[in-house]
Amino acid sequence: MDILAKLFGSEAKVKIMRLFLFNSDQPFSPADIASRAKVSLPVVRHEVGILRKMAMIKGKRFIRSVSVRRGKKTVIKRKKEGGWLLNPNFPYLPAIRNLLINTVLVKHSDIIRRLNTIGRIKLIILSGVFIQDEDSRVDLLVVGDAIRFGALEGVIRIIESEIGKELRYAAFETPDFKYRLGIYDKLIRDILDYPHIKALDRIGIFPTLG
């Protein structure tokens, strides 16, 4: 991210550009962008202004369904919002997509460092978005002991903000994982029998397949 941030001017711009690239058909309001990329609204306005002038994104009105409390009832209202959408006709889109998506999205060492804070992590497998394989069932598999699943959720949200895409992930305590491995659990086999990267392996019970 450091090199890309220097190339594009800021880390925030890289995160926002990836958000639009990974969600090319979805419009985002400024608040959506701030929440997904985890940057402040003033930064969003600044970076979006630059992307709009470049014609990489374009304005888009869209309808959002929101829940509203009326006494003891909750009703769903449809609300018009203004936002931004990726411009599919932007001439440099293929080059930018190749640079920002078909690359190392997050350093493996950063993923390991962050996940090591949520428990005694024994295994981290990267697949899906991390290896440009859309057919993978999950993007991330985490195995460990004393995993704090609330903290794991927080780490996932941070990684998602950098990548620009929601992650499909699975997490297991070590005994549960070994049991599932022993009975040839379909999810585990679908991960291990197809291309993947072992970012961390303190279990050492199978070879690298990816």
pLDDT digit string (tens) for 23-39? 999 999 999 999 999 99
Backbone angles phi, psi at 139, to 5 degrees: -95, -25
Same domain, 42 and 94: yes
Residue 33: which CATH number? 1.10.10.10
d(C-alpha 10, C-alpha 12), whole Å: 5
| Domain encompassing residue 33 | 2-100
Q: Does 64 reside within a domain?
A: yes
42-51, 65-74, 131-140: which has the minimum mean pLDDT? 65-74
Nearest-angstrom CA–CA distance, 125 and 130: 10
Residue 82 pLDDT more than 80? yes
**Can you give the pTM of this predicted structure?**
0.84
The pLDDT of residue 75 is 72
Do 51 and 134 lie in one domain? The reply is no
Kindly report, residue by residue over 167-201, the tens digit of the pLDDT.
Answer: 999 999 999 999 999 999 999 999 999 999 999 99
How many Cβ atoms sit within 10 Å of the Cβ of residue 52?
Answer: 14
Shared domain for 91 and 22, answered yes or no, is yes
